[in-house]
Structure formats: C-alpha cells, structure tokens
Structure 1
C-alpha cells in the first residue's frame, strides 16, 4: 500500500498557517477591544498592531479599516450572545424568556466596553461583514419578542426593533455603578403588559 506523503507535507504547514492567522486575528481583536474601550475612536491602527504584537501589514490583512475592526468586535459578541438567546428560547415562560435574553445580553455587554463603543458609535458597524452573526441573534430576539407579545405579557405594539432601543439606552448608562439596571427596571415597567 502506497502513501502519498506529499499531501501530508503540504497540509501541515497550511494548517499551521491557518492556526497562526486565527491567533493573529484574535490578538488584534483583543488589542483593539482594550484600546477602543480606553480611548474610543482616537486609537490608530498602528497602535492596535503594536499592542497585538504584530506588524501593521498583518493587521490590514485581517481588517481593512477601523470600521471593519468594530464590526468584528460586534460579531464576536453576537456569536457569544446567540447561544444565550437560544437558551432563553427554550424557557417555557414567555416573560422569563424575554427577561433572560434582555438581562443576559446586557450583562455580557457590561464588561465589554469595546462592544458598547462599537454599538453606540455614531458610525454603525459594517453589518455586511457580520451578517450571519447578526441574523442569528436577531432571529432569536424576534421569536422571543413575538412569543411574549402573543402571550399578552409584553405590550402589543412592542417590536424586536424596540429591543435594540432599550438595550442601547441601558448601554449608554453603563457607568460602572450599576445604574443601568435601574434604568432598565423603569423601562420594563412601561413595556410589560398587565393584562395576563
């Protein structure tokens, strides 16, 4: 039986290169997240590359500009909260599912200042770059909201787009002292239907 060793020799470096590229991308995202969180949009791409321990060329191979970098930060957070949203969908109580999603999403955003900066920035992320992640999360939000409306526990005119408004308002109030929770509790009083 003959073995084609050239395939083994060729694929090992390719696998290593892909692993290196993934590590480099994650290093850039970590560095950008830290710097955006501290200094906002004043951070320059060469500073991010230096913090990641990479050359500027490597950074630009992964991200064309700061907008693409912000989109990737948002996409990474959406990947994490989509599993939370799917777990919330499994809850039998529609209000509990909505509250679990809302608080879980915001609690995951609280320590991630770079994500909040990207979401609240006047320049929206490039959604085309993270369409799959955004759509997966948005689909769960839509289903959870609709189920709560249908069950009569959420006001009849509430929409998934209102979820976005509420979460942005709470994020804008994340100052480190937990006031966003009071802000959110006041909003929940206004949107919860008492007709049940």
Structure 2
C-alpha cells in the first residue's frame, strides 16, 4: 500500500469515527431521558427510536442494556471524581467533606441511571467501572481522613459511611423526583449526625 493510499483511507475513516462518537452521545442522552422516565422498564428499542437511530447502530455500541448502563455509570464516576477533587481543594476540612458529599448528590440529582445504579440495580457490570469508581473513592477517603484528623466530623466516619449516607439520600431523590427540598432536608439531617462542634 502506498503512503497516499494509506492517507486516503485514514482520511475516509475519520468522519466515521466522528459519526460514531456522535451516535454514542445520542444513545446515552436518549437512554438518560428514558431511564429518568421509566427506570428499569426502559427498553433498548425505545432508546434507539428516541435517539433517532436504528437497532443495528445501537447494538454496535452497546450489545445489551447492561453494557449501556455500565458505560453511563462509568462516565458519571469520571465526572464525580472531578467534583470530589474540586471539593477537596477547600481549606477547611469540614467544609471540604460537606462540599464533596453535596456535590456528589447534586451531580446525581438529574441522572436517574446513576441513581438506579447506586441503589443496586442488577443491570450493571460493576467490575467494568472499577477504575473510575476507585479514583472517586480514593479522593473521598483523603477528604474524610483530613476532616476526622481536624475533628470536624465524627471520629469513626469511613468511606463506607459516605456511600451508605449518599445511597439513602439518593433513594429519596429517585422515589420523590422533582422534590429537591426533600432530599436536601435528608442531607441536612444526615450532616447533623456527622458533624462535630470542632476540635476541642
């Protein structure tokens, strides 16, 4: 194959890769909307139609609903790690912890797919998002350690507690959609049990 032929072929492939990216984005956006409306009952056929794509295109990207959910949750955890790192930059350890927890919940508020995943949906391959989740958990762990050392949160607080509290609040979000005062009230009650008056 000549260099010019290789270049022509590479040039012809680029639009296909761009189209593939756009199609993937359309599928994930459509899936997010339908999972928000119908939860686990959302069907792949409906997702393809809502995205304006054929089933063949959908299945080329995601062979089943489990693969689609897993990809969406992995993408969300990558964003959550950024949220956690931003909160961790705050100078006050107590404020940093609360900013990370609040930011995590606010990011999940309009994402029914992520809410389903955190409440334990079976339609997910958690091992495939291990890296993304581990990155987020590592940042949260450092934030908690700093807040505990500063005496700003209860001394026995762990990352597992963070997950438990967040999952409980997310269940309020999911089962009472559009009721931000409810989950925010749930958050404030939880924080009241986590905070301490400060170092002695």
What's the TM-score, normalizing by structure 2?
0.89
SS in structure 2 at match of 1:157: coil
Alignment RMSD (CA, Å): 1.8
Question: Is the CA contact 1:37–1:117 (under 8 Å) kept in the aligned structure 2?
Answer: no
**Residue 190 of structure 1 aligns with which residue?**
193
Unaligned runs of 5+ in 2: none
Unaligned runs of 5+ in 1: none
Q: How many residues align?
A: 194
Identify if the C-alpha distance between structure 1 residues 94 and 10 changes in structure 2 by more than 3 Å, giving closer, same or farther: same
Aligned pairs for 1:7-18 within 5 A = 7-18=6-17
Q: How far did 1:124 drift?
A: 6.1
Matched, 1:179 2:190: no
Runs of at least 4 residues of structure 1 off by over 6 A? none
**Residue 68 of structure 1 aligns with which residue?**
67
**Residue 153 of structure 2 aligns with which residue?**
154
Q: How far did 1:16 drift?
A: 1.8
Q: Distance in 1 between matches of 2:122 and 2:61?
A: 20
**Residue 77 of structure 1 aligns with which residue?**
76
Q: Distance in 1 between matches of 2:121 and 2:5?
A: 52
**Residue 35 of structure 2 aligns with which residue?**
36
**Residue 128 of structure 1 aligns with which residue?**
127
**Residue 162 of structure 2 aligns with which residue?**
163
Q: How far did 1:194 drift?
A: 2.9
